[in-house]
Structures are given as C-alpha cells and as structure tokens.
Amino acid sequence: MKPTRSFFSGDSILASFVYLKSSRFIIFFTHILLACFRLFQALEFVCLWLKYRVLRFAGEL
C-alpha cells in the first residue's frame, strides 16, 4: 500500500500560506475600496448640504 501525502507536507503548507496571503490581500483591498467609496459618499453629502445651505441663504429655495 502506497502512503498518501499528508496535508501537512511542505507543499501543502506553502500553498495554504500563499492562499492565505492572497485572500488577506483581497480582503484588505476590498476594505480600502469600501473606505474610499464611503469617503466619496460623505464628501458628496457635504457638497449637497453646502449647496442647499447656500441656495437657502440666497433665497433661491
């Protein structure tokens, strides 16, 4: 009977380490994208609020 390769062999550990590194990078990149999107939404909200205040102050609203 031929012995099967263990999950804890060197290749498997290296492959799982690379997979973990790449998945962590993808998660990190996704968090950065979501943070940028939230920042953009906040800036858009501030700009719309300022536009509303200026128009209201000028009596156009």
DSSP 29-60: HHHHHHHHHHHHHHHHHHHHHHHHHHHHHHT-
HSE of 52 in the Cβ direction (CA atoms, 13 Å)?
6
pLDDT the model gives residue 11 = 65
* pLDDT, tens digit (0-9, with 9 covering 90-100), for 1-59: 555 555 555 566 667 777 777 888 888 999 999 999 999 999 999 999 999 999 998 88
Q: Strand, coil or helix: what is 60? A: coil
Rounded to two decimals, the pTM is 0.55
pLDDT the model gives residue 54 = 93
